Amino acid sequence: MVSKESCRNEIRAAIRQLSDRCLYSAAKWAGEQLVGIEQDPSNFTPSNTRFQRGSSSIRRRFSTISTPQPSAGFSQPPATPLPQEEDEVIDGDLYLLAKSYFDCREYRRASHVLRDQMSNKSLFLRCYALYLAGEKRKEEEMIELEGPLGKSDAINRELVSLERELSALKRTGAIDSFGLYLYGVVLKEKGNESLARASLVESVNSYPWNWSAWSELQSLCTSIEILNSLNLNSHWMKEFFLGSAYQELRMHSESLAKYEYLQGIFSFSNYIQAQTAKAQYSLREFDQVEIMFEDLLRNDPYRVEDMDLYSNVLYAKEACAALSYLAHKVFLTDKYRPESCCIVGNYYSLKGQHEKAVMYFRRALKLNKKYLSAWTLMGHEYVEMKNTSAAIDAYRRAVDVNPCDYRAWYGLGQAYEMMGMPFYALHYFRKSIFFLPNDSRLWIAMAKCYQSEQLHMLEEAIKCYKRAVNCGDTEGIALNQLAKLHQKLGRNEEAAFYFEKDLERMDAEGLEGPNMFEALVFLATHLKTNKKFDEAEVYCTRLLDYSGPEKEKAKSLLRGIRMAQTDFPSMDMEHFPL
Amino acid sequence: MAGLTRTAGAFAVTPHKISVCILLQLYAPSAQMSLPFPFSSISQHNRLGLYLLSLTKSCDDIFEPKLEDLINQLREVGEDMDAWLTDHLTNRFSSLTSPDDLLNFFNDMRGILGSLDSGAAQDDQIILDPNSNLGMFVRRCILAFNLLSFEGVCHLFTSIEVYCREAHSSSAQYDESNDNLESLIQHDQMDMEKYIMDKATEEVELQKNASGRVPFHLHTPEALFKVTKGLLVTRKEKSRTNTKKAEATQLACASSSTVGDTLVDESLFLRTNYQIQGFLMEQADAIETHGSSLSSSSIESFLQKLQNLAPELHRVHFLRYLNKLHSDDYFAALENLLRYFDYSAGTEGFDLVLPSTGCSMYGRYEIALLCLGMMHFRFGHPNLALEVLTEAVRVSQQHSNDTCLAYTLAAMSNLLSEMGIASTTSVLGSSYSPVTSTASLLSVQQRVYILLKESLRRADTLKLRRLVASNHLAMAKFELMHVQRPLLSFGPKASVRHKTCPVSVCKEIRLGAHLLSDFSAESSTMTIDGSLSSVWLKDLQKPWGQPVFSQESGSRKSSTFFQFCDHLVSIPGSVSQIIGASYLLRATSWELYGSAPMARMNTLVYAALFGDSSSSSDAELAYLKLIQHLALYKGYKDAFAALKIAEEKFLTVSKSKILLLKLQLLHEHALHRGNLKLAQRMCNELGGLASTTMGVDMELKVEASLREARTLLAAKQYSQAANVAHSLFCTCHKFNLQIEKASVLLLLAEIHKKSGNAVLGLPYALASISFCQSFNLDLLKASATLTLAELWLGLGSNHAKRALDLLHGAFPMILGHGGLELRARAYIFEANCNLSDPSFSVSTDSDTVLDSLRQASDELQALEYHELAAEAFYLMAMVYDKVGQLEEREEAATLFKMHITALENPQDEEPNMA
C-alpha cells in the first residue's frame, strides 16, 4: 500500500502545479482527494476532526481494516517522481500577468502576452488559453448561426493551428506532459481518436496527477478491449481511472472493488463515495445509495454534482418531501446547473405534473445538450402524457448520445408497444436486453410483447419468462405467467410445476391474492385428476382458509376427492342439498 | 418534423450571390450609356445577361459554384473580355476589406434598380426593372443583407474571405498534390481556354450538321432572336463543354476519385428546406438507379457533412438507410431506418402522404413498418418481412391510413408472389379481415390475387396513380404467369378448365401505361418542385454523373436526347420507371407467348428510352433478356461477349440475376458441346442458389430440376431422367405452376422419344400441346408439335407423311420465332422425314433435303451443338453419296467426323467465363 503521507505530498505538489497551469478542475479534484486522505493521528487537531465525519467515519475505519491489503506490487517510492518546477525567473512576470488575464477569462489576451515565451509552462498556458478562446467563440457561433435548419457546424477555429504547433513540438520532443494532454484534447476534438489516446497515455504516464487527462482518456475508452490495450504505468491514480472506466463500461462490481481498495487510503473522499453510490445505484441497491447520499450531503451540503442520481433514488422510493427538500436546496445553490433542473423535473414528475417536469428537463437540456438522463427522463414524461411520438424522439436522442443506455432503448420499445406495434417494439427490447441481460424487468417486457394478442407467439414468450425467472424476478410476474401460459397450451405438468414454484415464492414473501387462489385451485384440480389425492387435499384445505368462491370450489373438490377415495359409484354430489 | 415547418423560403446572402451582384453591376451600371464600357457589341452584352439570368435561376440550387468555377464559366461566356471580367470580379472582392465595405456595396446595388414606376426611364439607359427576374434577385439580396445582424455580417465577411482564398489556393493545391503531373497540369491550365474553345467550336459545327439548329456560340444575328431557345442552347452547350472540361481535368489528375471529391465539396452551402428535400430526393433516385455501382462511401461522407450542418434534417437518415440498403449493410440500414422514423415520426418529406391529410398525432409509424418490411424482403428474410407487413396492415387500419394500406398490400402481394411462402396461414390468419376469412383455404397465388385486387381498389379510390399503375402491372404479371380460375370453387359444378387470358394481360399493361397521361394531374407537387429547383444548372453538375455513364455500354448513349427532354417536361423518375417496367413486362409476355422479335423489340425500347431512369434491377433484367435472346438466336459467342459487359456492370448488385443467367448459359453450352460433367456441375450450382425453405424460390427450383433432367437425358440415363421429370411434375402440380407443367410434359415426351419408346411418349406430347393451347404458349406448342411429329416418325416410316404434315403446320411458328436449335431440329427432321418416306426419291429431289440440311448445319455450328450437327452432316454425306457427288461427300464426312470427335472428347477448354 502506498503510504498516506507520500500520497499527501504528491497531491499537495500536484495541486500547486495544476493550478499554476490553470487546470482548475483537475486541481479541484486533487484537492478533494487530498482532504479525503485520513489524517495522521500525530497531527490531529480538533478542527480537523470536526471537518471530518462523525458517526460514519468510525464505520469507515472499521471497513478500512477489513480491506484486503494489496500486495507490495506497487511500492514506494512512487513510480513517477514529482517533476521539479523549472526556474521561471525570466518569464515569470509575464506569466503572472497572463495567468491573471486567464483567471479573468480573457483568454486571447492571456495567450497574446505569452506569445514569445519559450518555457514549457508558458507554452502550455498560451496554447490552453487559445484553445479555450476558440471554444468560447464556438459556443457563441453556435447560437449566432442557428439557421432555419438548426445549422451547427461551428468549430473551434484554433484547432488547426494548435494541432500544427503541438505536433511540431511533439516531434522535436520539446513537449511536457501538460502539452501532451492538450495535444490529446485537440486530437480528440478533431476526431483522431487513436492518436489522441496515445498522446493522453503518454501524458498520464509522465504526470499521473492530472485528473482531466485521465477523464479525457476515459471518454475515449469505449470498450473493454480498448481499455485493456492501454499501456499504463502503475500508480494509484490509475486505480481511480480504472474505477471510473469500469463504471462507464457497466462493469459495476469491478469498479466497486477498485473503489473499495482506494478507500483504504482516501477514506473520506467525497468523490469515491459518490462513485460508489453510482455503482450501487446501477446495481439497484437503493436503500444503501440513499444512506450514502445523505451522508455525502451532510458533509458537503452545497454539492450539486451527482445529486440528480440521488433524486432518482428518491423518485424510485417515492419520497416526495425529501425530493422537494433536495430540489429546493440545490436550486438555492445553483439553479443553472443541468443537474438542478433535472432534480426539479423529477420532483414535478413524482407529483404528476408532467408538463412542468418536461419544462425543467428541457431547460436542463438547453444547458447541456448531451445530458443523457434528461433525455430519457423527458421521454418517460412524454410517455406519461401519451405523446408517444415526442417520447420516441426524446428516447432516440438519448440513444444517440449514448447507445448503451438501456433505459432509453427500453422506453422506445415501450412507446412502440403502446402504439400497437409489438413486432416493431421487439427490436428495441432486444437492444435494451443486449446491454443489460440480467434484468428480469426487460425480459418480462419482451415476453409481454410476444404474448400480445397481435403477435401471439407464446413459445417465444415462455422462453423470455424463463430468462426472467433465471434473472431473479422480484415481482413474481414471470412464474405466474409461465404457469398460465403452460396451462393455456395444455401442458399441465409444466403448469403445475410453475404454479408450485410461484406458490413457494408467495409463501416465502408472505403474499396473498388472486394469484394465490388461482395457483391453489389449479394445483388441487390437477393433482386430483392425476389421482394424487393426498397432495390435492393439502391444497384444498389451504383454500378453505379463504372466503369467497374459491372456498366453495375447494369444498366441492374435497368432496370429489373423498368420493374417489372411497370408491363410491360416480355420482355428482353437488346436486344434493347439504 | 421541425425541418419542414421552419422558414421554408429563407434566402441567405452568400459570397456567390455577391459575385452575381457584382456581375449584375457590370451588366447594368447606373451610368447612362447604351452600351457599358467593356462590351464591344450588343450581342456580347446580351449574352452576359442571359448567363446572369441562368445564374439567378440556379441560385436556388443546393450547391453553389466556387469562385473558380464561376471564373471558368465566365471565360466561356465572356470570350475576349473574360480577363477583364475576372479581374473586375476579383478586384471587387479584394476591395471588400471591412464589414463597412459590404454595407456600402449593397447601398450601391440599390442604384442599379429602376424605380418601381419606371415610366421616366430614358431609352438609352440600362436599368433593371425591379419586377424582372434580375431585379427581383437584386432586391432579395438587398433585403436579406439588411436583415442580417452584425454577427451575420461578420460571418458573411469571413466566408467571403474563404471563398476568395479557395480560388487562389486551388491551383497551388494541384501542384502540391501531384508533383509528377505538375507540368501537365500547368500546360493544361494554360491551354485550357484554347482547348475549350476549340472543342466548343468543333462541337458546335457537329451540332449544326446534326440538328440544323443554330447554336449560340456562332453569334449570328439569328441566335439573338431565339432568345427563348437561346437559354436552352447555352445550357446544353455548357453541359457539353463542361463535360469535356471535366474529362480534361480528370485526365490531368489521372484519378477518378476527384468525382467523389466534388460531390462532397467544401463549398457546400445550406439552402432552403425545399431545395434540400428536392436534392435529397434526387440523391435517393440516384442511389436506386445506379445501385451499388455508385460509390457508397462518397455518399456517406456527403451525408455526414449534411448531418453536421443540419442536425434537424432527419431525411438524411433515410438517405443513409437507402445507401446502406444498396450496399448490403443490413445492420446499418436497419439502424438508420429506425432512427429516421424515431426522429421524424415519418412526417418529414414523405411524398406518398398527401399534404391535405396532414400529420396525425400518432405520427406515421405504419410507413416505418412498410419500409422495414420491404427491407427485410430485400435482405431475404421473407417470414420476418411478412410479419412486419402484417403489423403494418394492422397499424394502418388502426390509424385509417388508407394510402399506406394500399401500398402495404401491394408490397405484400409482391413479397408473396416473389417468394411464394408456403406456410403463411399462421401469419396472415390473425388480423386482416378480407384475408382471414379465406386464408386457410387459399393457395399463395390466390392470396396474391386478393391482395392485389384489394390494393388496386384502394389505390384507385385514393387516386394514387403510380400505385394504380404498378398494381396493374403486377396484375398483368400475375395473369401472365398464373392460371385463372374461379377463386373459390366448390362442388362438382365448378368449372375445372384452366387457361390464361392474353387479352386481360394486355388490358392490364395498357391500364398501367395510362399513367403517363395521368401523372400531370397528380397532386403531389412537392416532388416535382423540389427536384426542379435543382434541375436548373443541373447540366453544370453533369461531370459528377460522368463515371457512371461512361461505364455503360452503347445503349445508353442514344438516350441523351430523351434524357434532355426528360428534364424539360420533367417527368418524375418514378413515372418513367413504371412505364419502363411496362415495356419490360411486355417483353416478358411476348417471350412467353412465343414471339421473339416482339420481345426483343420491347426490351430494346426499354433499354433505349428508360435505361437512365430505371432501377438497377430493372436494367439488369433488360440486359438479361437481350443476352438470352443473343444466345438463342445468335449463338454463344455473342452471348458470352455481351454477358461479360453485363457482368462488369451488375455483378456487384446483390442477388444478381446475372449470375443465374451465366449458369444457365454455361449449362446450355456444356450440354450442346457434350461436356456433361460441366453441365452437371452448373446444374447443381444453379440448384444451390435457391433457398432451402419449402415453397420458396419455386421458379428457380423448377428450373434447376428441369435442367437436371435434361442433363441426365443427354447422358442417356433415361429412367433417372424420367424419375426426375415425374417428381418435378408433381411439384409443379402441388404448387400450382401450370405453365411449367407444359414444359415438363414436353420433356417427358422427349425422354421417351430418345429412349426409343415412341408409344409412351405420344400421350405426353399431346398433353403438353393441349396445355400450351390453353395457356397460349405458341412457341412451346410449336416445339411440342415437332416432338409429336418425331414420335410419329419413330413409330415407323409409314407414318412419315403424317409427321411431315404436322411439321409443316408448325413450320411458320418455328421459323419465325424459334431459336437456332429449334429451327435446326426442324430442318433435320424434315430431311429425315423425306429420306424415310418411301415415295421420296433422293436422286431426283436431293436439293430439297440438302437445302434444309445445309441450313441446319449452319445454325448448329453457330450453336456448337455437336450431336445434331454430326447428324446433319451424316445425312448430308449420305445424300451426296447417293447422288454421287463424292467430293462434297468427303467434305461432309470430315465435318461429321470432326463433330463426333468433339462430342466424344469434350475438352475442358470452357470459355474463360467459368
Query: A273-309: per-residue pLDDT in tens?
Result: 999 999 998 888 888 999 999 999 988 889 888 898 9
Name the 3-class secondary structure at B128: strand
B309 vs A contacts (CB less than 8 Å): 149, 151-153
Residue A533 identity:
F
Confidence of residue A173 (pLDDT cuts 50, 70, 90): confident
Structural contact between residues B381 and B34, judged by C-beta atoms closer than 8 angstroms: no
Compute the distance between CA of residue B780 and CA of residue B766 in angstroms, rounded to an integer. 12
Number of structural domains (chain B) is 2
Check if B388 contacts A (Cβ < 8 Å). Answer: yes
Tell me the average pLDDT across A157-175: 88
Q: What is the predicted pLDDT for the residue at B199?
A: 42
> Which CA distances in Å does B663 have to B546, B677, B833, B835, B913?
32, 14, 35, 38, 10
Helix axes B42-58, B227-253, angle to 10 degrees: 70
Of B237 and B315, the structure prediction assigns the larger pLDDT to B315
Write out chain B residues lying below 8 Å of A141, CB-based.
155
What part of B 467-486 touches A (C-beta under 8 Å)? Answer: none
Q: Residue B273 and residue A148: Cβ atoms within 8 Å?
A: yes
Q: Could you tell me the pLDDT band of residue A103, with boundaries at 50, 70 and 90?
A: very high
Q: Is B401 an interface residue toward A (CB < 8 Å)?
A: no
Quote the CA–CA distance of B193 and A385 in Å, as a whole number: 67
Report the residue from B312, B342, B368 with minimal CB separation from A396.
B342
- pLDDT, average across residues B151-157: 82
Which long-range contacts does B869-877 make (Cβ < 8 Å, 24+ apart)?
B869/B895, B869/B899, B870/B896, B870/B899, B870/B900, B870/B903, B871/B828, B872/B824, B872/B827, B872/B828, B872/B831, B873/B899, B875/B828, B875/B831, B875/B832, B875/B835, B875/B849, B876/B850
The lowest-confidence range among A11-20, A299-308, B734-743 is: B734-743
**How far does A148 lie from chain B, in Å, by closest CA?**
6
Sort B401 into a burial class: Cβ within 10 Å, 0-12 / 13-18 / 19+: buried
Which among B168, B183, B202 is the end of a domain? B168
Local confidence band at B370 (pLDDT 50, 70, 90 cut-offs): confident
Element (H, E) at A368: none
Q: What is the pLDDT of residues A477-497, one digit of tens each?
A: 888 888 888 888 888 888 888
Between B386 and A567, residue with greater pLDDT: B386
Q: What is the pLDDT of residue A245?
A: 92
**Residue B867 clears pLDDT 70, i.e. is over it:** yes
pLDDT of residue A532: 81
Instruction: For cell 506569445, name the residue.
Output: A115
| pLDDT value for B236 | 34
- Is residue A345 within 8 Å of residue A311, measured between CB atoms? no
**Does the pLDDT at position B536 exceed 50?**
no
Grid cell at residue A527:
393433482
Q: With an 8 Å Cβ cutoff, is A345 touching chain B?
A: no
Please report residues of A whose CB lies closer than 8 A to that of B388.
Answer: 423-424
* Chain A residues close to B272, C-beta within 8 Å: 148
Whether chain A has a CB inside 8 Å of the CB on B766: the answer is: no
- Rg (alpha carbons) of chain B, rounded to whole number: 34
Mean per-residue pLDDT, B843-863: 80
Chain B closest CA to A460's CA: distance in Å? 15
pLDDT of the residue at B651: 65
pLDDT at B174 over 50: no
Residue B22 is placed in which grid cell?
457584382
User: Residue B482 has what DSSP assignment?
Assistant: S
Phi, psi at residue B128, to the nearest 5°?
-80, 130
Residues of B in contact with A388 (CB under 8 A): 362-363
**Domain assignment of residue B20, yes or no:** yes
Task: Label each residue of B353-397 as H, E or C.
Answer: CCHHHCCCCCCCHHHHHHHHHHHHHHCCCHHHHHHHHHHHHHHHH
- Nearest Cα of chain A lies from the Cα of B133 at a distance, in angstroms, of 25
Residue in this structure with the C-alpha cell 515565451, named with its chain if needed: A117
Distance between CA A110 and CA A103 in Å, rounded? 9
pLDDT of residue A542: 81
Nearest to A147 among B270, B339, B394 (CB): B270
For chain A, domains (ranges, CATH) are 1-36+89-143+156-220 (1.25.40.10), 284-368 (1.25.40.10), 369-431 (1.25.40.10)
Q: What residue spans of B656-717 are helical by DSSP H? A: 657-673, 676-689, 698-714
* Range scoring the smallest mean pLDDT among A451-465, B210-224, B549-563, B582-596: B210-224
Query: Which phi and psi (to 5°) does residue B499 adopt?
Result: -165, 160
Residues in chain B: 914
> Pick the residue with more confidence: A186 or B66?
A186
Q: Which secondary-structure segment (H or E) carries B65?
A: none
Which 361-420 residues of chain A touch chain B by CB within 8 A? 387-389, 392-393, 395-396, 400, 412, 416, 419-420
Q: Contact at 8 Å (CB) between B698 and B735?
A: yes
Model confidence band, residue B771 (pLDDT cutoffs 50, 70, 90): confident
CB of A459 less than 8 A from some CB of B:
no
| Mutation target among B391, B393, B430 for the A interface, most CBs of A within 10 A | B391
Round to whole Å and give the CA distance between A181 and A206: 11
Whether chain B has a CB inside 8 Å of the CB on A151: the answer is: yes
Chain A: residue whose CA lies nearest to B371: A424
Mean pLDDT of chain B: 69
Going by the DSSP 8-state scheme, the letter that residue B81 receives in this structure is G
Whether the per-residue pLDDT at B225 is higher than 50: the answer is no
Domain contains B572? no
Longest CA–CA span in chain A (Å) reads 116
- CB contact under 8 Å between B272 and A148, yes or no, is yes
Helix (H, G, I), strand (E, B), or coil: what is residue B215?
coil
pLDDT of residue B515: 66
Give the integer Cα–Cα distance in Å for B587 and B596. Answer: 9
* Number of Cβ atoms within 10 Å of the Cβ of B787: 25
Please state the rounded mean pLDDT for residues A80-93: 58
* pLDDT given for residue B646 in this prediction: 81
What is the span of the domain harbouring residue B28?
15-114+126-168
Higher-confidence residue of A29 and A565: namely A29
Q: A45-49, A329-333, B846-850: which range is least confident on average?
A: A45-49
Please provide the distance, in angstroms rounded to a whole number, between the alpha carbons at the two ends of chain B. 53
In degrees to the nearest 10, what's the CA dihedral of B499, B500, B502, B506? Answer: 140
Task: Answer whether residue B891 is part of any domain.
Answer: yes
Residue B865 belongs to a domain: yes
Q: Which of B8, B313, B368 sits opposite A424 (nearest CB)?
A: B368
Burial A457-492 (b: 16+ CB within 10 A, else e): beebbbebbbbbbebebeebbbbbbbbbbbbeeeeb
Compute chain A's Rg from CA coordinates.
Answer: 31
Q: Average pLDDT over chain A, rounded to whole? A: 82
pLDDT in tens, B4-32: 333 334 677 888 888 888 888 888 776 65
CA angle A424, A430, A433 (to 5 degrees): 145
Q: What's the confidence (pLDDT) of residue B621?
A: 82
A147 CB neighbours in chain B (<8 A) are: 10, 12, 270
pLDDT at B46: 79
Of B3, B308, B342, the CB nearest to A412: B342
* Cα distance between residue B309 and residue B264, in whole Å: 13
Question: Which of A391 and A56 is assigned the larger pLDDT?
Answer: A391
Instruction: Using the predicted structure, report yes or no on whether residue B563 has a pLDDT greater than 70.
Output: no
**Among B195-204, B514-523, B716-725, B806-815, where is mean pLDDT lowest?**
B195-204
Give the list of residues 6+ apart from residue A297 with CB closer than 8 angstroms, or none.
Answer: A303, A307, A310, A326
Cell for B554? 452503347
Of B313, B361, B430, nearest to A456 by CB-CB distance is B430
Q: What cell numbers appear for B197 in the block?
A: 474553345
Name the residue among A452, A409, A441 with its Cα closest to residue A427: A409
Is the CB of residue B309 less than 8 Å away from at least one CB of chain A?
Answer: yes
Contact B342 A395 (CB under 8 A): yes
Residue B173 falls within a domain, yes or no?
no
Under the banding of pLDDT at 50, 70 and 90, the label for residue A4 is confident
- B516 part of a folded domain: no
pLDDT confidence of residue B24: 84
The Cα–Cα gap between B549 and B566 comes to: 17
Cβ <8 Å between B312 and A454:
no
The Cβ of residue B585 has, within 10 Å, a number of other Cβ atoms equal to: 24
- Domain-embedded: residue B467: no
Q: What percent of chain B has pLDDT over 90?
A: 0
pTM for this entry? 0.67
Q: Which of B153, B273, B275, B365 to mutate to test the interface with A (most CBs of A within 10 A)?
A: B365
**Residues of A whose CB is below 8 A from B400:** none
- What is the pLDDT at residue B696? 64
- pLDDT tens digits, residue range A221-275? 888 888 889 888 888 899 999 999 998 888 888 999 999 988 888 888 889 999 9
Of B372, B378, B349, the C-alpha closest to B288 is: B378
pLDDT at A161 over 60: yes
pLDDT of residue B175: 40
- Do you find a cis peptide bond into A422, omega within 30 degrees of 0? no
Whether residues A392 and B363 touch (CB distance < 8 A) is answered with yes
Helix (H) or strand (E) holding B12: none
